[in-house]
């Protein structure tokens, strides 16, 4: 059986001020709250608790998680962005059976905000198009609006699956990526 393990997918779930990607641990006017259900508000970064199929097999069901995003502030509209940081296509935790040059090129990632598609492609492709805060993907607000307004809420869901085309060279492979958020005016 071919398996590919996603070593760690971390949601940088700190609270970010609207002016840029700097993090803050308090909610106040003009703050954005990004949390998954298991993330206590007292910590800056939360490991994402992937659920569903954690032993990915080619063409099998995906692992998934969801983050609740709210804009409880009273400030101006903002653009919420999502990007990868600390991306490793193949980690040192990969088993010796992993001989694929780029295991992340067979990890299928789908990100949605509410019902709106934000990204659909490979983890390697996501690292190319949204590999930094500068090239971050825009995450739509309530009702698919491009900007977030005070009181907006959405569930941002992500699924990760192993492409059916992955062969034995992907067995025992491990990739790493951290999803990070920023909010700008």
Question: Residue 53 is part of a domain; what is its CATH number?
Answer: 2.60.40
Pick from 27-31, 156-160, 163-167: least confident? 27-31
* Position with higher pLDDT, 25 vs 170: 170
Instruction: Give dist(CA 22, CA 12) in Å, integer.
Output: 12
Number of domains forming the structure of the chain: 1
pLDDT at 152: 87
Q: What is the mean pLDDT of the chain?
A: 75
Distance in angstroms (rounded) separating the CA atoms of residues 17 and 170? 40
Query: How far is the C-alpha of 126 from the C-alpha of 109, rounded, in Å?
Result: 8
pLDDT value of residue 71: 82
Q: What is the pTM of this model?
A: 0.78
pLDDT at 176 over 80: yes
Rounded mean pLDDT of 92-99? Answer: 91
Decide: residue 93, CB within 10 A, 0-12 exposed, 13-18 middle, 19+ buried. Answer: middle
More confident residue, 122 or 114: 122
User: Residue 168's pLDDT is what?
Assistant: 92
What band does 115 get if pLDDT is binned at 50, 70 and 90? Answer: confident
What would the mean pLDDT of 74-88 be, rounded to a whole number? 86
Rounded to whole angstroms, the Cα distance separating 182 from 138 reads 10
Burial 31-65 (b: 16+ CB within 10 A, else e): bbbbbbeebeeeeeebebebeebeebbbeeebbbb
> pLDDT category, 37, cuts 50, 70, 90?
very low
Q: What average pLDDT does this structure show over 88-100?
A: 91
The share of the chain scoring above pLDDT 70, in percent, equals: 71
CA 117, 174, 179, 51 torsion-angle sign: positive
The pLDDT of residue 6: 37
Q: Which of 23-27, 108-112, 170-174, 177-181 has the highest mean pLDDT?
A: 108-112
Phi, psi for residue 48 in degrees, rounded to 5: -75, 135
Domain interval for residue 91 = 4-184
């Amino acid at each position: 059986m071919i398996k590919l393990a996603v070593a760690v997918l971390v949601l940088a779930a700190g609270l970010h001020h609207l002016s840029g990607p700097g993090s803050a641990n308090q909610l106040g006017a003009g703050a954005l709250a990004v949390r998954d259900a298991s993330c206590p508000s007292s910590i800056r970064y939360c490991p994402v608790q992937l659920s569903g199929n954690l032993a990915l097999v080619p063409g099998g069901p995906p692992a998934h998680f969801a983050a609740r995003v709210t804009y409880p502030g009273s400030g101006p509209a903002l653009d919420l962005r999502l990007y990868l940081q600390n991306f490793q296509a193949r980690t040192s935790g990969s088993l010796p059976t992993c001989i694929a040059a780029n295991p992340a090129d067979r990890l299928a990632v789908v990100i949605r905000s509410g019902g709106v598609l934000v990204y659909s492609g490979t983890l390697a492709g996501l690292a190319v198009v949204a590999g930094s805060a500068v090239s971050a993907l825009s995450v739509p607000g309530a009702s698919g609006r491009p900007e977030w307004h005070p009181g907006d809420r959405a569930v941002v869901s992500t699924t990760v699956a192993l492409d059916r085309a992955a062969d034995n060279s992907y067995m025992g492979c491990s990739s790493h990526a951290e999803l990070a958020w920023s909010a700008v005016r």
